[in-house]
């Protein structure tokens, strides 16, 4: 049993990380009062822009191309999310509809661009992120094997972003203002906070993080752009709710999803799990989510103003 967990762990983490960073992006957006269900589309944008960058650069600089790709993905995601920000913040559009539009545009426009630029709707990269075992730390009993063997550099990047996000949200004036905008924008405004500006920044952060999430999928486990991230963006939203809009909660929720679905995926190859019907393992994380959501529905800690356009006239 222990051996299986050790074996599965690096892959569970690899699957968790893109989810975590995307959900974290959603957290910024929703805590500022803008619901962002366009995360799926923003991930696709990140996936595409990193793929096209890496494929063009890797001939000259295989090592750094991956990092440039990640950076480009974050920028592209942030820029693309401006569409959502403009519609939701300036135009007071319904945020769910705007997010849905983002998802639909992203899937179509990226494949269109890919086909026009490379001649094919599928883009393959040759060099992805290299897995490394960290020398000294991996010798620590128990956690060394689990956390420090076969890790991707992106994993540590995302964990650093997580800590930083927690710090920004809870320990800085900016974080307090951002949260205030999601709870009671009128009050924040009367205290001199520029609600529009804060929400713009928050939506752009969510776009950048989701773009990064898409790019991480590319450089770690898929190696290919094909116009979709297979619903991971929606899973990230589920994790955000499951994690009750809190950074550490989101970490726990995404890790739960990552670990449970990895176990479900590999169960067929592991004799110990093969006895359990695969379908049970596959639905397990979703059933748990449903139960948890029902249990928490009374005490849900959703930002109060999430989903409501802020209108200065209405106080």
Partner 1 sequence: MLKKGMGLIIVLVVLAVAVSGCFTKGGTNLKVGMVTDAGTIDDKSFNQGTWEGIKRAGEELKVETKYLKPGGTTEADYMKEIGNLYDAGYKFIVCPGFKFETAIYQAQDKYKDAKFVLIDGSPHAGDGKAVVKENTVSIFFAEHESGFMAGIATALQLKEGEVGFIGGMEIPPVQRFNWGFQQGIQYANANLGTNISLKAENVIYQGSFDNVAAGQQLAAQMYDKGVKAIFCAAGGVGVGAINEAKSRAKAGQQVWVIGVDVDQYSEGIYDGNKSVILTSAMKKIAQAAFDMVQAEKDGKFPGGQTLTFDASNNGVGIPDENPNLSEEVQTKTAEVFEKLQSGEIKVSDQRGNLIK
Sign of CA dihedral 88, 92, 96, 101: negative
Nearer to partner 1, 91 or 126 (CB): 126
Nearer to partner 1, 128 or 285 (CB): 128
Helices 278-296 & 247-266 angle (0-180, nearest 10): 160
Rounded to whole angstroms, what are the CA distances from 217 to 90, 190, 202, 213, 220? 32, 42, 23, 6, 5
For the CB of residue 285, give the shortest distance to partner 1 in the complex, in Å.
13
Three-class DSSP labels, 240-289: HHHCCCCHHHHHHHHHHHHHHHHHHHHHHHCHHHHCCCHHHHHHHHHHHH
For the CB of residue 98, give the shortest distance to partner 1 in the complex, in Å.
23
Phi, psi for 132 (deg, rounded to 5) = -130, 150
For the CB of residue 230, give the shortest distance to partner 1 in the complex, in Å.
6
Q: How many helices (H) and strands (E) does the chain have?
A: 13, 2
For the CB of residue 127, give the shortest distance to partner 1 in the complex, in Å.
8
Nearer to partner 1, 63 or 192 (CB): 63
Nearer to partner 1, 208 or 264 (CB): 264
**Ramachandran assignment for 142, one of left (phi > 0), alpha (psi -120 to 50 degrees), beta (any other):** left
For the CB of residue 213, give the shortest distance to partner 1 in the complex, in Å.
13
What are the residues binding partner 1 (CB under 8 A)? 7-8, 11, 14-15, 111, 115, 120-122, 124, 126-128, 130-131, 221-224, 226-228, 230, 261-262, 265-266, 268-271, 274, 278
- What lies within 8 Å, CB to CB, of 268 at 6+ separation is 274, 278
For the CB of residue 209, give the shortest distance to partner 1 in the complex, in Å.
19
For the CB of residue 295, give the shortest distance to partner 1 in the complex, in Å.
28
Nearer to partner 1, 8 or 39 (CB): 8
Nearer to partner 1, 190 or 278 (CB): 278
Nearer to partner 1, 239 or 306 (CB): 239
Three-class DSSP labels, 143-192: HHHHHCCCECHHHHHHHHHHHHHHHHHHHCHHHHHHHHHHHCHHHHHHCC
């Amino acid at each position: 049993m222990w051996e299986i967990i050790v074996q599965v762990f690096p892959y569970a983490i690899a699957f968790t990380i893109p989810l975590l960073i995307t959900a974290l992006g959603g957290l910024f957006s929703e805590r500022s009062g803008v619901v962002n269900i366009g995360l799926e589309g923003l991930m696709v944008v990140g996936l595409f822009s990193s793929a096209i960058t890496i494929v063009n650069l890797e001939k000259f600089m295989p090592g750094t191309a991956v990092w440039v790709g990640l950076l480009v993905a974050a920028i592209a995601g942030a820029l693309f999310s401006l569409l959502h920000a403009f519609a939701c913040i300036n135009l007071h559009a319904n945020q769910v509809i705007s997010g849905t539009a983002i998802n639909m545009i992203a899937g179509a426009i990226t494949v269109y661009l890919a086909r026009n630029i490379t001649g094919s709707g599928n883009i393959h990269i040759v060099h992805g992120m290299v897995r490394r075992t960290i020398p000294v730390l991996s010798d620590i009993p128990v956690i060394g094997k689990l956390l420090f063997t076969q890790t991707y550099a992106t994993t540590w990047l995302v964990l650093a972003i997580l800590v930083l996000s927690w710090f920004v949200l809870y320990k800085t004036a900016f974080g307090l203002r951002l949260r205030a905008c999601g709870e009671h924008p009128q009050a924040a405004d009367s205290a001199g906070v520029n609600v529009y500006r804060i929400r713009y920044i928050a939506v752009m952060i969510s776009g950048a993080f989701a773009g990064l999430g898409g790019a991480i999928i590319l450089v770690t486990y898929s190696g290919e752009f094909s116009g979709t991230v297979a619903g991971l963006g929606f899973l990230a939203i589920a994790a955000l709710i499951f994690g009750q809009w809190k950074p550490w909660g989101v970490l726990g929720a995404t890790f739960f999803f990552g670990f449970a679905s990895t176990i479900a995926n590999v169960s067929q190859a592991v004799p110990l799990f093969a006895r359990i019907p695969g379908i049970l393992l596959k639905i397990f994380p979703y059933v748990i989510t449903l139960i948890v959501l029902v249990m928490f529905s009374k005490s849900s800690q959703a930002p109060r103003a999430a989903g409501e356009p802020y209108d200065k006239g209405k106080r």
